Amino acid sequence: MSLYGRCEAPGQAWKIFVDMGSKDVITWTVMCVAYAQNGFRKEALQLFQEMQLEGRRPTSATLVAVLDTCAHLAALQKGRQIHSHIIENRFRMEMVVETALINMYGKCGKMAEAMSVFEKMAKRDILVWNSMLGAYAQHGYYDETLQLFNQMQLDGVKADAVSFVSVLSALSHSGSVTDGYQYFVAMLQDFSITPTPELYGCVVDLLGRAGRIQEAVDIVLKLSGCLPDGILWMTLLGACRTHNKTDQAKAAAEQVLERDPSHSGAYVVLSNVYAAAGDWDGVNRMRKLMRSRGVKKEPGRSSIEILNRVHEFLEGDRSHPRRHPIYAELDVLNSEMRAAGYIPDTKMILHDVEDERKEDMLFYHSERLAIAFGLISTPPGTPLRVIKNLRVCSDCHTATKYISKLRGREILVRDTHRFHNFKDGRCSCKDYW
């Protein structure tokens, strides 16, 4: 079972699991881990529930697997239930489980609860500190990230490369270029840390977000021969998209695709750049190139937890049992947003169609479907928590600000880059992300 799980064949592991006559806690745990590691997260949670019904007492490995699953899905209520189960059954709070709890609460947007677990810990190693630093950085709390980093030094825990990735990421999201450089220099001189590709990527991202594209290009050109995986070029490509630098974006995309022709993100980002510039020939070239190489774009996917159940939506999804009230709510929202001054940003659509059709395509992005479902499924004033598997587009970002104000809701959206906390028509990222 472990072998098949590690070889990305959880179906084969499941066949063995089902055929076993007797199952102990290790058996259940291995199957939970096999599901969790291969993206079958709902199945992992279901299996954990069945394990509890069988009266099996989970091990620390079981708890870590299901807590990590809750973190990925932002299944806060399920994560809280597991935390309560740990306390009520008087499990010995091993550091690895406490770290998983911090990670779960952080990825569910509950920083106060993450910090509560952190502060109650009798002992903290570098993994614990890095989990807390990473949570603050992902939320864009750069002041808190730096304070925690300084506290770590005072407690005698030496920062490592992962610690500095969090610090530089937080500073990048805040636009603090000067401070970012200072911490990078300190990392080299005071901590004698050899920079990883991720750390150099943070520096490129720091410059790119601030619009200092040429400086970012100079760094990438200097280091690209040493880092052949294309991470720096992809980071640079994202910055070029943000600042509509078409020529630099083309050069960066070529470098990414030279290293990895199957990298769907490079095609999509460059297509975005072409679409923003109105170059539909360029968009079509990218689309044809993807088809000829058998590359498929990852579909936008968003999820929301309602009444202890995670609901998932794709763009234009009409498979949900409550699709009719969901779309009705979106129609009402769109009318109200327009009356409040919302103007759709149709340059995000990678199709050369009429503006009216582009607007329809924007209205049914996966995060809007999840938000609409949350609005009709929860009492007024209830905060909503949405998880997106891709970067939130600028139009959905704008629309969610309007929705938060019109409906009086706090809406937390976690995408691949960071958290966006929308409230009263504003976002915690201050439109810098």
Q: What is the pLDDT of residue 360?
A: 62
| Mean pLDDT per 10-residue interval, the chain, length 433 residues | 94 95 91 91 92 88 92 91 88 88 95 96 94 94 94 94 94 89 91 88 90 90 72 88 86 88 88 83 89 89 91 92 96 95 74 55 88 97 94 92 97 92 93 78
| 300, 72 contact by CB (below 8 A) | no
Q: Work out whether the CA dihedral 221, 223, 229, 233 comes out positive or negative.
A: negative
Domain with CATH 1.25.40.10 in the chain: 1-119
DSSP, collapsed to helix, strand or coil, labels residue 109 as coil
Residue 421: strand pairing partners = 412
Q: What is the pLDDT of residue 375?
A: 98
| 332, 407 contact by CB (below 8 A) | no
**Distance, CA of 23 to chain centre:** 35
| 299, 268 contact by CB (below 8 A) | no
Residue located via tokens 């709890």: 101
Q: What top-level class would CATH report for the domain 1-119?
A: mainly alpha
Q: What is the pLDDT of residue 353?
A: 46
Q: What is the pLDDT of residue 354?
A: 53
Structure tokens at 70: 């809750």
> Running DSSP on this structure, what letter comes out for residue 58?
P
Residue 312: strand pairing partners = 303
| 393, 363 contact by CB (below 8 A) | no
Residue 164: strand pairing partners = none
| 97, 63 contact by CB (below 8 A) | yes
Residue located via tokens 């929308």: 422
d(CA 200, CA 154): 26
| 401, 350 contact by CB (below 8 A) | no
Q: What is the pLDDT of residue 134?
A: 95
Residue 311: strand pairing partners = 304
Q: What is the pLDDT of residue 359?
A: 63
Indicate the Cα dihedral angle 184, 189, 192, 197, nearest 10°: 30
CA-based Rg of the chain, rounded to a whole angstrom? Answer: 23
Q: Nearest-CA neighbor of 159 among 137, 187, 185, 120?
A: 187
Q: What is the pLDDT of residue 88?
A: 86
